[in-house]
Structure 1
Amino acid sequence: MEHLVNFVCGKTQLSSSSIKNTIKLLNEDCTIPFISRYRKEATGNLDEVEIGLIVKFKEEFEALEKRKASILKALEEQDVLTEKLKQSIEDAEDLTTLEDLYLPYKKKRKTKAETARKNGLEPLAKIIMSQNANDIESIAYKYVKGDLSSTEDALEGARHIIAEWINERTDIRNVLRQQLERFAQISTKVVKAKETEEKAQKFRDYFDWSESLGRIPSHRLLAILRAESEGFIRVKIEIDDNKALERIDRKIIRSNNACADQLELAISDAYKRLLFPSLSKEALNAAKEKADDAAISVFAKNLRQLLLGSPIGEKRVLAIDPGFRTGCKVVCLDENGNLKHNETIYPHAPKNDWSGALKKLASLTEAHKIEAIAIGNGTASRETETLVRKIQFKNDVQVFVVSEAGASIYSASKIARDEFPNYDVTVRGAVSIGRRLQDPLAELVKIDAKSIGVGQYQHDVDQTKLQKQLGVVVENCVNAVGVNINTASVSLLSYVSGIGPKLAENIVNHRTENGAFSSRNSIKKVPRLGGKAFEQSAAFLRIKEAKNPLDDSSVHPESYPIVEKMAKDEGISIKELIGNKSRLQNIDLKKYYTETVGLPTLQDIVKELEKPGLDIREEAKVFTFNQNIKTINDLHEGQLLPGIVNNITNFGCFVDIGIKESGLIHVSNLSDSFVKDVNEHVHLHQQIIVKVLDVDVSRKRIQLKLHK
């Protein structure tokens, strides 16, 4: 434990006691949401991000220790493990250092150095390395025998052995790493045979490009690597070879004789054949990993904003999945998202039944007491929105345009088929659009996060790392909002702290067979839901209209006795205490301290009792695009337009202005001052006003500026 705590301490600014206690909780199978919310005293009030860092470095440490054990075992089997080498391996603090130490002992494929050793040339290589011999040609002549027909053959073989020694020296590898880190350039050239291909044109900025590898933005590196993988460009990593060779020479050559000449040749060979190919690839991989992390971070921030998007709540919704030739699929949902009706209308070309569509939408709205209309933002969205806004509704009906991203993925998924086995994909897609308006979080958790389309180059980054990070985001969002156990789907429940897919299924099956849960205690009756799962999950599961009002709050059941004592001391019931701000604020919290419960937890309890079950999300707001802008041809420089942020990247954000093409607000056009983080200026689905700076109709590119 001590080594692990010290390792994490060295990687973070967190206190050792916070790290130690957090690791202890993690080892007891506690989840990040549970620890950050209900174990603040133990962690020193760490938030979910800080706990996530501890998890990350804990895993890094464990992977390092596992690799150390594997290498030590291999070295013992080779009978080459000295005390000094063992100590160096045990002291290694990263995988790069560890692999450098192991490199000389690694089993290699047949190499030039190995062939030279078989030809008996290692003693000659040692003589050259000693740099004491002057007539090296005469000495080399003694080794001319067998496969070696000349002194040059002997010297070349010896140089191959020396080149391998140089390649295996950690100090020399680190010298070259420093050169690459500081001075490496990434350059690209177009593959001439592919230059005119249509698919290549989106990468034409990189047909002849050069930039510092250390400073290249993540999105540009990922774009370059995608262009290379698709065969449109060739990528090279370059540094000043002469400078690099000079640095290596100074490490090795200390004489001015014939041995030095041989060493220069060996150093050049080691550099070109072994060191540079290996370490330039390592540098590119490190840059790619950095770019992956940046892209994943952007995706995670976007996903969080999307999942915590504004819900309209428990209202009856009519949802439309727009289309031209195949018509617009219309569904009516009750306040719980249950499908009540579906049919297709054909207001657009080729049928153009505008009148019939108007009447049908008006009658469905009236018949199902619809309170809001959700229109998908894909094909025919603007035309359908225009149609809907022509209807004279008898009651107040709000109209929203909803992102369709990922709806088609959901509609064809097993989850959708299980939910709606008797309906086709078009009905399922329309239902998903309507439910997104009611509760974006509950609906979007059913879709693979990568398919939601709010990242950059999500298919090019490390997929394991991406999946893991997005899973953490979804889990944190679900637990931050809380889940109604009596209405939640298996997908939503599976992200609740301590639950997982199997227990989520058991909960839904138990609910189906036995009816709604009446209390948090009754959750314990679910098969295989033991004490640990209950501890981790109970406070994130809400039960509406429960006998105990705390069951519909984020107060953990383990803290119910504290609330009961507070109410008793105030001479009122728990129900009377809840929402009674003046009473709550006057409570002396020190009276309720225990060995495990201190001020942070008690403050959270009081805050929750003031507004129990309060949804942390904002309310959904109606938005209207400029009705005069139908296509990119309607845009001109200087226009001010309403828009909705629909994607955020490191280089700016994309804005939906109501046409097929989204416009880009480059990072330089977000503010007059330096922008460190795009998310500090805009957030996903934010309604903003933009100014049109430039319109390139041929390339379908729109440049915008954020209008303050």
Structure 2
Amino acid sequence: MELIETISHETHVKPDFIKAILQLHAEGCTIPFMTRYRKEKIGLSNEFVVKQIISRHEELKMLSKKQKEVLQKLTDAGELSEGLKKYIQTATNEYELEELEQSFQPRAKGPQITLTRTALKPLIEIILKQENITVPLEALASNYVNEPSGLVSPDKVIEGLRKILAEELLRTPSLRTDIKNIYWSEALFQCSKTTEKDISSKFSEFDHFAKPAKDITPHQFLTIQTGVRQKQLKFTVTADDQTVLERLFARRISTQEPTIRFLLENVYSELYHEPFKNNLDAYVVKKLWRRAESVTIDSAAHTLQSTLALPAFGPQPVWTALYLPGDKKCLLATLDAQGQVTSHQDLSLAETDKPKSLEILSGLLLANRPALVIMAKRDHIREAWEAFKNLFKEINQSVPLIIAETSLPEICAKTKDAEKEFANEQLRFIVSLGRFVRDPLSEIIKADVLSLPLNPHQRIINKDALRKELDLVIETAVNKLGIDINHAPLSLLQHVSGLDPKAAQAIIDHRTQNGPFRNRTELLGVKGLTPKHFFLAGGFLIIPDSENLLDRTLIHPEHYDLVNAMAGKLGKTLSELFAQPESFRELPIKEFEGPETSLESLRLIIGEFRAPAKDPRADYEVLEPDPTIKSLDDLKPKMVLRGRVINLASFGAFVDIGVEQLALLHKSALSESRDAPPPPTIKLGRVLNFEVLEVDKDKKRIQVGFPVFKRREPPPDDKKNDQRETTDDPPTLKLPPTLKLRWTG
């Protein structure tokens, strides 16, 4: 129970909820299952809070085990004081206990030292209390001369006092804490290059670098560590010993009696140099590592979360093309509504080959008309885009044609499964690009999560801890969707709550041999799947064309009877409720609330009638390049253009506004002022209006901000006519609304 109270204090989650989370976890329930279907037990905790609670509980169990080991070790050695016992029992992590073990020195043993220790115990207590000491040390020591104890003179008393005082102070936990805190605040982190030769430009700022260790940012620290691994940089951690000791004396010595003060200063100084100082540099580096790893893991997780939430174009047929400027042709692949490749061929964009190209294009349109054509962003892409657009005009066809960034599809195209599907590297790439635009999440999770460019320092931090956090992000994102069990691939199914690769493959094998699933209960007949698999995964797997309308939603099968009872109370059929979800306003919802169904759970169930298996991702906005903006030469300050947010960084965001170079939206542009409304939320994939602020043609840099809103004074005769003038958005292509399924392949 003490562990639960500790976690409750740290997380501000009620102990009963924590206890329920740990109990459900022990029973094998997954985090997505808990957060969606057990809200009545765990409260409103989200996936990351639940993960934090489970992880912290494991850490505290390991800590508790370590505490018992150290306590027993010191007890057996006869070294356990009340102060040490309290320090060990209140330690918050294993690092503190490891440092204690490393710096701890056992007391000297033997009959003579034992007699000396006993004889000097009262004097030790007086010195440590530092209260009302008015006589010099030698005079005080003369009162403890004791020949049987070996204390034959005041000098011998002082000599014994120094040794035993050092032993006692070494067992004072607060001294250990004081020294570490002072050293941390005084430590200087210095870095320089390892050779006289030039080093990489990314490390150049760290040659002759010096900064207080506490002020080193995680980015700086990990950049230096990268340089150290590449043998281009070296670093040291130092502190001015005299400054550290002066601060230590000021904190721990209160007596004004000169000889007593001199004694204490000497003992503290000796302890500082041995054993504490040996571990202090390592302590600072460890602390910097822990802080940097924590920040980097959080940053990578946030980036992955944003990436998996990218808008999806949806299950519609698309074409995808890669322009090869040397040959003036495109490698073109056509994908059907399920994302399967129906054809691939070269399409010439040369003027001399136009008749043949128009013939090929007309045939492809008849066979598989796309809702969108996607061109990979490469060199000379604007001339290719114009040529392709003109081919469509020649045959009087209008198909939206966009240019897409390619960094993530390039990674996804290098997986083993992609190589098995297509041997040709360029074909793999454009197929991955098309699938990425259709459904970024489903394409991204095919790649090893550690291969994704989520943070510049992810390669040098603890990979196990990073993967664990990123796996939860993927699991959370996947299970917020309704996964179509009849079309989802192995890469997606294996991330569904309660399923592993073996269970996911069993589902695929069953549907291959027996055809599509007609209802959720057929999952119970899959060889290799247990009732536990069905229990944990059943609610997240949807069947969009099932006769049982509830199988099309994220309502768990265990709640079907409850839903039917709610329908009966309203005197409606399920079909009528899906058609008229407003009928639930008449439901006395409190009657259905109970220990197994909280009000929040009931609201989630009712929400599925309003929007069955609603995709939480934003709708994909098709954004074609502005025909008048082809390069940097066409950009002018104060221009307002539509752009898509491509990447997020600590200093702002990068935006694609239709030219080869990405534009920088600096974080300073996100601040609010009295003359402008709050800036829009910046999310990956979002399309917004951007104003060109600066164009540096020499450095090929573009800086953008948001269009300025200037308040206009109302006319004198109409004080109510107070409005803001803005630049109208340029026209964008509006696609007809389409039925958006959760995932179809």
* Corresponding residue for residue 285 of structure 2: 284
TM-superposed CA distance for 1:216, in Å, is 4.4
* Corresponding residue for residue 310 of structure 2: 309
Counterparts in 2 of 1:680 and 1:635: CA distance versus 1, 3 Å: closer
Counterparts in 2 of 1:233 and 1:383: CA distance versus 1, 3 Å: farther
For 2:668 and 2:634, locate their aligned partners in 1 and report how far apart those are by CA, in whole Å. 25
For 2:352 and 2:274, locate their aligned partners in 1 and report how far apart those are by CA, in whole Å. 69
Deviation track 1:626-647 (CA, whole Å, cap 9, x = no partner) reads 5566566776766554432222
Counterparts in 2 of 1:523 and 1:570: CA distance versus 1, 3 Å: same
For 1:583 and 1:285, locate their aligned partners in 2 and report how far apart those are by CA, in whole Å. 60
The answer to whether the Cα contact below 8 Å between 1:455 and 1:648 also exists between their aligned partners in 2 is no
Map residues 10-29 of structure 1 onto 2, 5 A cutoff. 10-29=9-28
TM-superposed CA distance for 1:6, in Å, is 0.9
Deviation track 1:321-367 (CA, whole Å, cap 9, x = no partner) reads 3444486432111100111111234548xx99777656644542343
* Corresponding residue for residue 565 of structure 2: 565
- SS of aligned partner of 2:331: strand
For 1:68 and 1:336, locate their aligned partners in 2 and report how far apart those are by CA, in whole Å. 56
Map residues 69-80 of structure 1 onto 2, 5 A cutoff. 69-72=68-71
* Corresponding residue for residue 329 of structure 1: 331
Counterparts in 2 of 1:398 and 1:680: CA distance versus 1, 3 Å: closer
The answer to whether the Cα contact below 8 Å between 2:641 and 2:690 also exists between their aligned partners in 1 is yes
TM-superposed CA distance for 1:29, in Å, is 1.4
Deviation track 1:66-98 (CA, whole Å, cap 9, x = no partner) reads 433444565577676678756653443332432
Counterparts in 2 of 1:356 and 1:298: CA distance versus 1, 3 Å: farther
TM-superposed CA distance for 1:207, in Å, is 3.5
The answer to whether the Cα contact below 8 Å between 2:569 and 2:587 also exists between their aligned partners in 1 is no
Counterparts in 2 of 1:330 and 1:123: CA distance versus 1, 3 Å: farther
* Corresponding residue for residue 597 of structure 2: 597
For 1:653 and 1:43, locate their aligned partners in 2 and report how far apart those are by CA, in whole Å. 37
Instruction: Decide which moves more: 686-695 or 437-446.
Output: 686-695
TM-superposed CA distance for 1:25, in Å, is 1.2
Q: Of 175, 178, 184, which residue of structure 1 is paired with 2:178?
A: 175
Counterparts in 2 of 1:695 and 1:61: CA distance versus 1, 3 Å: farther
Corresponding position: 1:406 with 2:405:
no
* Corresponding residue for residue 373 of structure 2: 373
For 2:568 and 2:305, locate their aligned partners in 1 and report how far apart those are by CA, in whole Å. 40
Counterparts in 2 of 1:21 and 1:378: CA distance versus 1, 3 Å: farther
TM-superposed CA distance for 1:461, in Å, is 3.2
Counterparts in 2 of 1:202 and 1:102: CA distance versus 1, 3 Å: closer
Rg comparison, structure with higher value:
2
For 1:161 and 1:660, locate their aligned partners in 2 and report how far apart those are by CA, in whole Å. 74
For 1:692 and 1:289, locate their aligned partners in 2 and report how far apart those are by CA, in whole Å. 41
For 1:471 and 1:57, locate their aligned partners in 2 and report how far apart those are by CA, in whole Å. 17
For 1:263 and 1:354, locate their aligned partners in 2 and report how far apart those are by CA, in whole Å. 94
Instruction: Decide which moves more: 643-652 or 91-100.
Output: 91-100
Counterparts in 2 of 1:589 and 1:672: CA distance versus 1, 3 Å: closer
- SS of aligned partner of 1:654: strand
- SS of aligned partner of 1:201: coil
Q: TM-score, normalised by structure 2?
A: 0.78
TM-superposed CA distance for 1:106, in Å, is 8.1
TM-superposed CA distance for 1:599, in Å, is 1.4
TM-superposed CA distance for 1:478, in Å, is 0.6
* Corresponding residue for residue 445 of structure 2: 445
Counterparts in 2 of 1:455 and 1:39: CA distance versus 1, 3 Å: same
Counterparts in 2 of 1:86 and 1:467: CA distance versus 1, 3 Å: same
- SS of aligned partner of 1:369: coil
- SS of aligned partner of 1:288: helix
For 2:695 and 2:204, locate their aligned partners in 1 and report how far apart those are by CA, in whole Å. 19
* Corresponding residue for residue 151 of structure 2: none
Instruction: Decide which moves more: 506-515 or 271-280.
Output: 271-280
Counterparts in 2 of 1:447 and 1:50: CA distance versus 1, 3 Å: same
The answer to whether the Cα contact below 8 Å between 1:333 and 1:341 also exists between their aligned partners in 2 is yes
Q: TM-score, normalised by structure 1?
A: 0.82
TM-superposed CA distance for 1:578, in Å, is 1.6
* Corresponding residue for residue 223 of structure 1: 223
Counterparts in 2 of 1:491 and 1:32: CA distance versus 1, 3 Å: same
For 1:693 and 1:185, locate their aligned partners in 2 and report how far apart those are by CA, in whole Å. 41
* Corresponding residue for residue 428 of structure 2: 428
For 1:657 and 1:162, locate their aligned partners in 2 and report how far apart those are by CA, in whole Å. 72
Corresponding position: 1:319 with 2:320:
yes
* Corresponding residue for residue 246 of structure 1: 246
* Corresponding residue for residue 720 of structure 2: none
Instruction: Decide which moves more: 368-377 or 548-557.
Output: 368-377
The answer to whether the Cα contact below 8 Å between 1:323 and 1:380 also exists between their aligned partners in 2 is no
Counterparts in 2 of 1:479 and 1:216: CA distance versus 1, 3 Å: same
For 2:180 and 2:325, locate their aligned partners in 1 and report how far apart those are by CA, in whole Å. 58
* Corresponding residue for residue 155 of structure 2: none
Code of the aligned partner of 2:595:
E
Counterparts in 2 of 1:93 and 1:285: CA distance versus 1, 3 Å: closer
* Corresponding residue for residue 545 of structure 2: 545
The answer to whether the Cα contact below 8 Å between 1:692 and 1:703 also exists between their aligned partners in 2 is yes
The share of aligned pairs that are identical, in percent, is 27
The answer to whether the Cα contact below 8 Å between 2:641 and 2:689 also exists between their aligned partners in 1 is yes
Corresponding position: 1:341 with 2:343:
yes
TM-superposed CA distance for 1:159, in Å, is 11
For 1:593 and 1:372, locate their aligned partners in 2 and report how far apart those are by CA, in whole Å. 47
Deviation track 1:415-463 (CA, whole Å, cap 9, x = no partner) reads 2244x1x543322222111111222222111112343334343223332
Give the superposed CA RMSD.
Answer: 4.1
Code of the aligned partner of 2:29:
C
For 1:347 and 1:106, locate their aligned partners in 2 and report how far apart those are by CA, in whole Å. 80
Give 5+ residue unaligned stretches, structure 2.
128-136, 142-160, 709-745
* Corresponding residue for residue 207 of structure 1: 207
* Corresponding residue for residue 41 of structure 1: 40
TM-superposed CA distance for 1:409, in Å, is 3.2
- SS of aligned partner of 1:547: coil
Deviation track 1:193-229 (CA, whole Å, cap 9, x = no partner) reads 24x34xx223334334444544444334433433344
The answer to whether the Cα contact below 8 Å between 2:652 and 2:664 also exists between their aligned partners in 1 is yes
